[in-house]
Amino acid sequence: MFIIPIQNKPDWSRPPLITLALIVINLLVFVFYQGLDEGKRAQAIDTYRQLALSAVERPHYNRYLQRENPEAYERWTAIREAAPEPLSIGPLVVQDIEFDAYLREVWREQEPENLEAWQRKRHQFETERNKISVLQAGLIPAEPEPLDFITSLFLHGGWGHLLGNMAFLFLFGFILETALRPSVYVAMYLASGLAADGLFLLLNLNSITPVVGASGAISGLMGMYLALYGFRRIRFFYSVLFYFGEFTAPALWVLPAWLAKEFYGYFFVESNTAYWAHIGGLLAGVAMVLALPASRKQFAQREEESQQEDALNQHLREVQRLVANLDVEQARRRADYLCKHHPTDPRPWETLFDLHKSQPSRKPFHQAAFSALRAFCQHGDTDPHWISMIKELLGEYRSLSPKAPALTGDLCLLLSRRFWNLGERSYAEAYLRLAQARGAKRQPLIAMVRRVHRHYQQSTDIARARHWHSALEALTEPATSDSEPV
């Protein structure tokens, strides 16, 4: 059984840099650290041969195989008997660390004579062999080292193991990285790995088989993903034997299926897979996200915004289709609908203006310009694309209609204030002058002129300060003379 979410697509406008960095680190460790294992293994075999341990340990290895793995013993016996001369067990011993524990049992019953020399040689060999990456940095439950809980997360058993894990790391990581703060994301990734290794260790205290791989931490990401979506319905892809397809379900409903898959693997599948590590990672990931209600709320809000964005994009494509089919009136009605339902996005307003600018002498053209400019004054700080769109719109509007009736005095004053707040000083001053020329309301106009004058006065721009001081005097002079006693 195979179930993965297909709800999201990578957003390369916000690349998942931390996830990509984790993938690169895993690749580098595998290529440049684990890639040296073949030489280390050859060196260990050579050390075993030089120390002449094969002759001493061969009978013990035969008994060990006969007891622990009869099938392997039969294969080894057939190979040994067919060989023209005694075979070295070095290549087998190097990759079978359980034989170490068997020898410790033998030594307890061994006569002291020659035992010390054997143990010394054996220690020398094991020191050389333990330089192999999975023994040096993997987690061995029977002999756990604190650092191994972290280093084991970046080791893998082969290219298939590595590439499979990296695919899932990217699949879940690029969503979680945008949903969580970078430090929280990294901490929860490592914490999931620690929880996975911890649960596996507790249930396999006597195991001396090294545990390696990022799958425990990645299982944590899978659990985090489900917990973030909670009971919202999302799309999944499934594959069971030769059947595959898609289904939609509340995210957390898939958690029991994933857990059941791991339990089934543990009880019924012969494999080296650390199923309990996967289970520990999954449960830890779910628990950590459920303990962060603020993160879940922010993620839900972003998902809603993303869905609205997708819906708007689809509607805008529909408008373009209507235009292509020469159904301009229907396109205008659709664009007007989008402006009302997505007032903070500049694109519907730009589209509505573009649909009317072919008829600059008609009233709807000026109404479209006025509405777009008013929306900018109200929502211009919600999207960085507002400024460039409005600048272009103003240029086209004043070019197509030099009298620009939509630019009333009060609207010019609002434009001036919005441009000023966004740091567009030249536009703000230009429309402030136009607001004064077109008779904007007096008190708001005075307040804006006084604000601009104060700014240039404090910035020691003498020329502009004088200009706006004169404008301020011209505006306040009538009010002052009216208030003087007769």
Strands (E), 6-95: none
The contacts found for 258-261 with CB under 8 angstroms, 24 or more apart, are 258/3, 258/222, 258/282, 261/1, 261/3
If one compares 285 and 108, the residue with the highest pLDDT of the two is: 285
Residue 2 has pLDDT above 90, yes or no: no
Q: Is residue 422 part of a domain?
A: no
**Domain region containing 191:** 2-24+149-295
What was the pLDDT predicted at 460? 80
Q: Is residue 183 part of a domain?
A: yes
The verdict on 321 and 359 lying in the same domain is: yes
What was the pLDDT predicted at 482? 43
If one compares 370 and 80, the residue with the highest pLDDT of the two is: 370
Q: What is the mean pLDDT of residues 326-352?
A: 95
Residue 171 has pLDDT above 60, yes or no: yes
Point out the domain boundary residue: 136, 168, 184.
136
What was the pLDDT predicted at 211? 94
Residue 53 has pLDDT above 50, yes or no: yes
Question: What pLDDT band is residue 486 in, cutting at 50, 70 and 90?
Answer: very low
Point out the domain boundary residue: 104, 136, 168.
136
In a 10 Å sphere around its CB, with 0-12 CB exposed, 13-18 middle and 19+ buried, how is residue 401 labelled? middle
Q: Is residue 284 part of a domain?
A: yes
Q: Is residue 437 part of a domain?
A: yes
The verdict on 312 and 402 lying in the same domain is: yes
The verdict on 266 and 153 lying in the same domain is: yes
Mean pLDDT is lowest, of 29-38, 116-125, 235-244, 390-399, for: 235-244
Q: Output the CA angle 92-93-97, nearest 5 degrees.
A: 120
Q: Is residue 211 part of a domain?
A: yes
Check if the beta carbon of residue 58 is closer than 8 Å to that of residue 86: yes
Q: Is residue 155 part of a domain?
A: yes
The verdict on 282 and 200 lying in the same domain is: yes
Query: Is 0.85 topped by the overall pTM?
Result: no
pLDDT tens digit sequence for 351-395:
999 999 999 999 999 999 999 999 999 999 988 999 999 999 999
Point out the domain boundary residue: 406, 440, 475.
406
Strands (E), 386-468: none
The verdict on 13 and 131 lying in the same domain is: no
Q: How many CB atoms lie within 10 A of CB 370?
A: 17
Q: Is residue 394 part of a domain?
A: yes
The verdict on 270 and 310 lying in the same domain is: no
- Among 455, 452, 413, smallest CA distance to 435 is for 413
The verdict on 209 and 286 lying in the same domain is: yes
Residue 89's alpha-carbon distances to 54, 79, 218, in angstroms, are 6, 12, 38
Q: What is the mean pLDDT of residues 343-352?
A: 95
Percent of the chain with pLDDT over 70: 98
The verdict on 322 and 401 lying in the same domain is: yes
Residue 481 has pLDDT above 60, yes or no: no
Q: How many domains does the chain have?
A: 4
Residue 111 has pLDDT above 90, yes or no: no
Residue 442 has pLDDT above 80, yes or no: yes
Angle at which helices 275-290 and 182-203 pack, to 10 degrees? 140
The verdict on 370 and 321 lying in the same domain is: yes
The verdict on 162 and 256 lying in the same domain is: yes
The verdict on 95 and 114 lying in the same domain is: yes
The verdict on 14 and 156 lying in the same domain is: yes
Is the dihedral angle over the CA atoms 148, 27, 41, 76 positive or is it negative? positive
Q: What is the mean pLDDT of residues 342-349?
A: 95
pLDDT tens digit sequence for 279-331:
999 999 999 999 988 888 888 888 888 888 889 999 999 999 999 999 999 99
Q: Is residue 424 part of a domain?
A: no
- At 394, which CATH number? 1.25.40.10
